Every structure is written in C-alpha cells, then in structure tokens.
Amino acid sequence: MTKLLPPGEGSRLLIDGKLVAGGAGVFATVNPATEEVLGQAANADAADMDAAIAAARAAFDNTEWSRDHAFRARCLRQLRDALRDNIEELREITIAEVGAPRMLTSGPQLEGPIGDLGYFADLAESYEWVSDLGVAKPMGIPTARTLRREAIGVVGAITPWNFPHQINFAKLGPALAAGCTVVLKPAPDTPWVAALVGTVIAEQTDIPAGVINIVTSDDHQLGAQLVTDPRVDMISFTGSTQTGRTIMAGAAQSLKKVFLELGGKSAFIVLDDTDVAAAASYAGFTVCVHAGQGCALTTRLLVPREQYDTAVAAAAKSMGGIVPGDPNEPGTVCGPVISARQLERVQRYIDIARAEGGTIVTGGGSPDRERGYFIEPTLISGLSNTSTVAQEEIFGPVLVVIPHDGDDDAIRLANESPYGLSGEVWGTDQARIDHVVNGVRTGTLGVNGGIWYSADAPFGGYKQSGIGRELGVAGFEEYLETKLIATAQK
C-alpha cells in the first residue's frame, strides 16, 4: 500500500480531482500531546478556494452525478472500503494530530464514521426520490401531481477539530448521497486528517473530478469566502455559536440554506430515586473523554439538594482517578486539548469559577508534564446555575455540580441555558423519567446511560445549539430540495 503521506512531505489540496499545492505555501500542523511539529499542510489562498467552488459548481451542473443514484452509492461504498484499507495510517495521524485517545479511534474518532458511509450509500438507493400525490382538481382543472426530491446543489462544509472524521463524514456522507457536490474547509488545527481523505478520494476512488474538493488553510477568511459566494447553494457548519451567527449573516447575502450544529452546555439530571453516587461517578467519567472536547458532553451535573455532598464526592473520586495522558496509550481516556490557545481558555474559565466563589474540588490546573496541552479533569462545586462556568461552553474536562429541588426544578435548571444540544437523565420511575424528558428542550437525551449516536439517528439542537439535523434520514434531507410537478389531465 502506498503511504498517503510520505515522510517529510506536506499534504495537498484536492481541487477538481487533482492533488495540488496551496497558493499560500504551507503551514505547520502540531501534535497537541508533545507540542512538536508533525509536518506541513497545504495552505490555500483565495484563488484556490475560488477554483474549488468553480469545480464543485461545474461538477454539479454539467455531470450526471446528481441524478445517478446507483453510481453515487457505489462511490460511497468504494470510499468507505478504500479508507478501511488505509485505516492504520489514518489512525496514527488522527491520534497524533487530533490528540484523540487511541481507544476512540475504534469508534467515533475514525472507524465509526467511515462505516457510516455505508448507511448513506444504502439510503441513496432506497430513498423515495419520486412520489405520486395523485390527481386533484384545483380551480376545476384535473391535475396529476408528482413530488420529486433533488440535490440542493453545491455545499460548503466548514468543520471543527474535535472529532474531525466524524463531523467531516457526517457532512460528506449525506451530501454526496443526496447528489450534491462539496467544498470542505476543515479546521486549521487538524488539516492532515482531511487532506489524507482527499488523497484517498483522488487516488483510490471513481468519484468524479470536482465532486469533492478539500481546501486546507490557516486563513479563516477562506471560510467567509465560501459562505458568501453565490455559486454555493448551502453551508453546513459545525462549530461555535458565535461563529454560527456570523455564518448566518454572511449566507443571508445570497439567501442560501444554512445548517448549523453549534455549542452546548448540556445537563446531566439525576433524580432522587436512583443511585446518585453511581450517576455522579458516570457523569464525572464522561466529561473527561477526549479532554471534554465534545459539544454534546454533559457539563452541568444537576443532583438532588439533599444528596449534593454525596454526588460531589462521587464525581470527584471518578474525575480524580483519571490522569491526562499520552493518547497513544490504549488506556488513555483524557488526552490533551488541541492547542495552547484552548488550554488557556479552559484555565481562564477555571480561574473565573474561583473568582465567582466556586470550590475546585479536584483538578484546576495542568498536570506535571514537561510538554503537551494537558489540563486536569476539574470538578467545581458551590456555584449557581447562573454562574459563568454553568452558562458558557468551556470545551474542556470541567464539570459543574448544581443542586436541584425536585424534578420540575431540574427541568427548569436544564432549560435555563441559551443552549439545547444534548443531555442525560438518570432515574428508576419511568413516569418521572418521561416527565423530565418531555420537559427538557434539547435535541438528544440519554436515559440511564443510553447512547444516541448512530448513523441512522438525527443529531442537532434547540435554541442557540443550532438549526437542522445531521445524520439519519432527517440529516440526509437537509441536502435536498423539493420540486412539485403538476401535469394537466385530459
């Protein structure tokens, strides 16, 4: 097997089916666990982005890609299989560049999203692209109506660094299955994991030139260029709520469709009829996974007031036993955060918690390591739900414990947030669980440890956590337009 990235060589852009150098030269990609430069990534300029958009537009307008459902399904399966053939190199790059714990690459950091491409290949073949609405007589004219679903067109996909494969393929899979063409701009923190997928596409699949274009760059203005270009029909963005607002404003110039999966400050609700210590221990563990760098992780632990101390002690024991470590080690749960900038952000929030009167029960600083962007799992008690660290997304292994006074109060606290992305409920009485689930305004909820992530399950948020859904049939249909054809009957 040819190496996707020969030693010492930088990655390349994928534009119009060709692997090319970046017009702005190269920029460094860094291992967050060691702070060492891994190598160079192609650095695109505005002309490269323009060429990528032009290629995607031409591939959509001038080929049969959007209409040949069987061919698209074959290409998606071919891409899945080619990525699997290169899985070990992709795994090593993912661990090194993302700081993803090795254990997660068997699931949502790599192998899971690659496997999900098969779901969308199947959907391209089984979806009801044309449906018959029957004959009606509007204004007395007998008319046969046909409903047709068609690809929306050129999609600009802008993705973050925390789970890059999962998010890249959650956009590429449904968009390609729907018949769209795509310009993908990945985060500058993790350019290689996207660029290497581009190499596989160019060298090991039959995906036509221009259907997928991958543009790596450290210039955020290229994202703005993608958003405002009138040749782009839709923007699919995952990232911060603040950036989502900017994208909405930019997309409004051409009234293009926008899908947004944004921030979260999700609540882990513990009812008083369950094992509060066990629930709190689980909550403490989950917030440490991948150093807390997940928008849907539950970062507010809402526990019965009368068992507050028990919950704090259990969560502290769980989090205190997790030592940030080398993501290459099989047992590592909590690796580094992505960058020095992110490390400073997390530490700043911990300092704010102290200043607002919170108690740092465990953690609160960087572990004793010579290199790497590591932060200790940190548990905060003694603050209200309106405190800064209970309201703002931190994106680190930081958990805030907040007391509630019964089920309705827990619902109120959970909803007392600008976000509504995810959550968790632990209890034993099904009627009470249902009451809480019905009351919390959020896009996904786990119950007693249930896992909601799956290719066929839609994911997205309420309120400032986003617009639309990703994955599942609902996520696939985000990339479709609806056309009604009315034919007069004689």
Report the distance separating Cα 483 and Cα 28, nearest Å.
46
Of 399, 432, 427, the closest CA to residue 278 belongs to: 427
End-to-end CA distance of the chain: 63
| Helices and strands per DSSP (H, E), number in the chain | 15, 22
Strand order in the sheet with 18-20: 18-20, 13-15, 212-214, 181-185, 154-158, 234-238, 257-261, 466-467
Beta bridge partners of 298: 266
Active site residue 344: no
Report the distance separating Cα 169 and Cα 285, nearest Å.
27
Of 208, 223, 222, 226, the closest CA to residue 18 belongs to: 208
Q: Please return the burial class of 49, using the count of CB atoms within 10 Å of its CB with bins 0-12, 13-18 and 19+.
A: buried
The backbone torsions φ and ψ at residue 315, rounded to the nearest 5 degrees and listed phi first, read: -65, -40
Report the distance separating Cα 474 and Cα 57, nearest Å.
25
Q: Which of 92, 125, 203, 261 is catalytic?
A: 261
Q: How far is CA 280 from CA 10, 183, 241, 397, 427, in A?
A: 45, 42, 28, 15, 12
Q: How far is CA 127 from CA 48, 51, 54, 96, 144, in A?
A: 35, 32, 29, 38, 22
Of 319, 254, 313, 317, the closest CA to residue 289 belongs to: 319
Alpha helix segments (H runs only) across 393-478: 407-415, 430-439, 472-477
Name the CA radius of gyration of the chain, rounded: 24
Q: Please return the burial class of 77, using the count of CB atoms within 10 Å of its CB with bins 0-12, 13-18 and 19+.
A: middle
Tokens of 357: 């009167």
Q: At what angle do helices 69-85 and 191-204 cross, to 10 degrees?
A: 120
Q: At what angle do helices 221-228 and 241-251 cross, to 10 degrees?
A: 40
Placement of tokens 């603050």 in the chain:
383
Alpha helix segments (H runs only) across 160-297: 164-178, 191-204, 221-228, 241-251, 276-286
Report the distance separating Cα 109 and Cα 169, nearest Å.
11
Catalytic residues: 261
